[in-house]
Chains A and B, each alone.
Chain A
Amino acid sequence: MAVLPLGKALNLAMRRSLAEDDRVVVLGEDIGTLGGVFRVTDGLAAEFGPDRVIDTPLAESGIVGTAIGLALRGFRPVCEIQFDGFVYPAFDQIVSQLAKMRARSRGRVRLPVVIRIPAGGGIGAVEHHSESNEAYFAHTAGLRVVSCSNPQDGYRLLRAAIRSDDPVVFFEPKRAYWDKGEVDLEASPASLDRALVLRKGRDCTLIAHGPSVKVALAAAEAAEEDGVSVGVVDLRSISPLDVETLQRCVAETGRAVVVHEASTFLGIGAEIAAVVTEGCFRELKAPVQRVGAYQLPYPPAHVEDAFLPDVDRVLLGIDRSLSFGRTAAHV
C-alpha cells in the first residue's frame, strides 16, 4: 500500500479512470499544463494529451454546460471548478440543466458528469476561496453530492463518481489535500451512498463529512481521555444521506452531534437532526446538537480559526448533549 496525500490519491483516481475508459475526459481552468492550481490534475495532460485533459476558457457556466453536451454525446466528463466560490456562475447549468435533464427526458438520457470542487476553509485564503456550499446542491433532486475526507476514500469515491451514470458534485476538502494516508490502489470503487463508521462509541455519535471528519476524530480522542466514549461517522455522501447507518449509530448511543464547516442555519446538520429524530425519537436521550459555522459570510483569514468549528467547539457540543442525561440523573 502506498502512503499518499489526498490530492495525489485523487489524481491517481482520475488517471486510472482515464486509462480504463476512453470516454472519460477531464476539463477545467488551468488543469492541463499547470496541473490545476492545487496540482490535482498534475501530469494527466502529459499522459493523455490535450484532447482528454482539456484546458478550457475561463467560464464556469461554460465548463458545466459544455460537459452536459459532451455527456449527451456519450462522454464522461470530469469538470474541475477552481474554487468553491466560483461555482456560482455555473449554478444554473448544475441545478436547472444537469440535475433535471434525465428526469425531463423521462429517463432517456444519461448525464455521467462529475463536478469536482475544492471546498472549505482553513488554508488562509482570500475571500471566495473558502466556502462550504454543499447544501445548495444537496437540496436539488437529480444530483448526487459527495464529500471525501481521506486519501483512501477520496480515491475510491472519485472512481465511483466517474463510473456513475448520474451527475455527481464531488467536494474535496482543500485543507486535506496534503494530508497523507495509506491508499490501496486496487481497492474497488466505493459505494456512492454509504456512510462509513470510522469509530465506534457508546456515549455519543459524531457525524461529519469532508474537512470536519478530522476535527471530529480528534474530538473523539480527546473525549475518550475524559472517559466519554464517542463514535464517529463519516457521511461521505451528503445526497443521498445514508439514513440507515445514521439512525443505527445514533440509536446505539442515544446522542448525536453533527459537525460541519458550513453555517448551521438550514445546513446539512438540520437535515440530519430531522432524520435522526424521525428514526430514533425513542432512543434519543438528548436533542441532536449541531456544531457549525456562524451565519456570517466567510470571514477574513485572520479570524477563520475562530469561525470554523474546532475540537473545543465539538467537545462543547458533546457536553451539551451529555448535559441532558445529567439533568435527568440529578432529578
Chain B
Amino acid sequence: MSHPALNQTPAPPATRTDPSALAARVPLQLVGPDGRLTEAGHLRGVDVDLARRLYRDMVLARALDREAVALQRQGELSLWLQCEGQEAAQVGSVHALADRDHIFPSYREHAVGLVRGLTPAELLAQWRGIAHAGWDPAEHHLHFNSLVLGTQTLHAVGYALGCRLDGDDSVTVVYFGDGAASQGDVNEAFNWAATMALPVLFVCQNNQWAISTPTSKQFGTSLHDRAAGFGLRSWWVDGNDALAVHAVTTEAVESVRRGQGPALVEAETYRIGGHSTSDDPKRYRTDEELDAWRRRDPLARLRTALTDLGVEAAWFDTVDADGRELAARTRAECQALAGPDLRDLFAEVYADPHPVERERASYEAHLELTGRGR
C-alpha cells in the first residue's frame, strides 16, 4: 500500500456530483419504500445473508432505543437521544467498514455502537449521568461521543493523518449531522482532508432537522455538492435503505482505502422521535411529514424485501425475540449502573502527577466533617 506524500498535491477528485444535473438527481435506492427492489436493486442483486445481518442489527438497535426512551420516562436515564428511523443509515454504513477502521461518532450513533460490540451499559452510561464517555475507544475502534457539534470531524482528520504517517491503510470514519455541517470545524475538516488527500470518510446522516431547524435553514446547497466543492468524492443515498447505504459506503470506503482521497456519504433519513427525550417535535413539524417518513421505515422496508426473497416468517420471529431479549438486558444493565465516586476523579484529569490530586484530601475532609464519609 503506497501513500501519496503529505505535501504532494492530490489528483483532482473524481467527484460523483454533476452540478448541471442537480435538480434531476435522486439519492441511490436499491429497495423502494414499499419494499420492492428498484431498477438499481435488480441490477445489483441482493446478498441475502448481508440483508439479514443488516435487518437483525436494525431490529436490535430499535429495541435498545425504545427501551432507553422508556427508561428515561421512568427516571432511570436523565436524557436519551433517539435514533429510531436512522437505523439503516447507521447499520448500513458501519457494516461496510473493516473492524480496524476507526470511527468518530457524534452522539446519536447507538446502532453503530451496538454493531461495534458495545454493551447496553456502555451505551447508556453517559445518559444516566455516571460518565462522560462510557467505553474504551481503543477496544472497539470507536471514539466516545462528541457533544460539541462537528468537533469530532477534526479529530478524525488528525487520526487519519496519523494512520497515513504510520503507513496503515485503515480508513477513519466520522459521523455528523446536517446541523453540524454548518459548523466551521466541519468545513475546516473537509478542506484539510482534501488538501492532504487523507483517508477519511465523512458520513452525514441528514435527518432533516437540527433540533427545530430544518435543513432549508441550514444550508443553501446540498451537503454532497458542498463536499464535492471542497474536493471530496461524494455519494448521496437513501438513508432509510440499508442495502443502498451499505453499497454506497462500501464504494466510498474502497475509494478512500485505495488512496483516492477523502469521501463523503450523505444519507437522507429522518429521526422519528424527538431530538432528545426533552424535545417536543410537535412544535416544529407536522403529523403529515412524520407519517410520510414512517411510510419509509427502514425496518419494514427491508422486512418486505427479505420476505419477497423467501425468508420465512419464523426467522423474523427469532429476530424479534432477540430484540426483546436485548431490551430486557438493556433495562437490567441500566439499573445496575452505579456512578463513580467523586474521589476517583481527582486522579483521572492528568496523566502526569498534578497538584489537583491533593484537592481530593480537602474533599475527603469535608466528607469526614459532614459524616458522609461512608
Contacts and interface: CB of A to CB of B under 8 A. Distances in A.
Contacts of B138: 108
B155 A68 contact: yes
A192 interface: yes
Contact of B6 (A50, A71, A96, A164): A50
B354 to A, nearest CB: 6
B154 A68 contact: yes
A106 B162 contact: no
A109 B139 CA distance: 12
Contact of B351 (A51, A59, A110): A110
A229 B43 CA distance: 90
Contact of B188 (A65, A96, A105, A107): A65
Contacts of B184: 61, 89
Contact of A164 (B172, B349, B352): B352
- Which bracket fits the contact residues of B? 35 or more
Contacts of B136: 105, 108
A102 B172 CA distance: 21
Contact of B162 (A57, A73, A93, A166): A73
A69 B188 contact: no
B137 interface: yes
Given A72-B158, A73-B163, A75-B165, A104 B148 contact: no
A59 B193 CA distance: 12
B74 to A, nearest CB: 26
A62 interface: yes
B165 A69 contact: no
B31 interface: no
Contact of A62 (B160, B189, B340, B352): B189
A59 B7 contact: no
B313 to A, nearest CB: 45
Contacts, number: 148
Nearest to A103: B349
A193 interface: yes
B5 A51 contact: yes
A61 B154 contact: yes
Nearest to A55: B7
A181 interface: no
A303 B25 CA distance: 61
Contacts of B348: 102-103, 106-107
A51 B156 CA distance: 18
A108 B132 CA distance: 12
A92 interface: yes
A96 B355 contact: no
Interface residues of A, number: 50
B151 A92 contact: yes
Contact of A72 (B5, B131, B137, B188): B137
A58 B191 CA distance: 10
Nearest to A50: B7
A106 B126 CA distance: 12
A97 B172 CA distance: 19
Contacts of A165: 351-352
Name the residue among B151, B172, B348, B352 with the largest chain A CB count within 10 angstroms. Answer: B352
B351 A166 contact: yes
B350 A166 contact: yes
Contacts of B355: 193, 240, 243
A75 B162 contact: yes
Nearest to A62: B188
Nearest to B8: A50
B339 to A, nearest CB: 12
Contacts of A32: 7
A66 B154 contact: yes
A59 to B, nearest CB: 4
Contacts of B154: 61-62, 64-66, 68-69, 93
B191 A59 contact: yes
Contact of A61 (B137, B144, B161, B188): B188
A97 B344 CA distance: 21
A142 interface: yes
Contacts of B172: 69
A96 B6 CA distance: 29
A141 B133 contact: no
A264 interface: no
B338 to A, nearest CB: 14
A61 B340 CA distance: 32
Interface string B206-220: 000000000000000
B307 to A, nearest CB: 44
Contacts of B7: 32, 50, 54-55
7 contacts: A57-B192, A62-B185, A66-B154, A66-B155, A69-B154, A103-B345, A243-B355
Given A70-B158, A164-B351, 5 more contacts: A65-B154, A75-B165, A97-B155, A103-B348, A106-B348
Interface of B: 5-7, 131-133, 136-138, 143-144, 146, 148, 151, 153-163, 165-166, 172, 184-185, 188-189, 191-192, 195, 340, 344-345, 347-352, 354-356
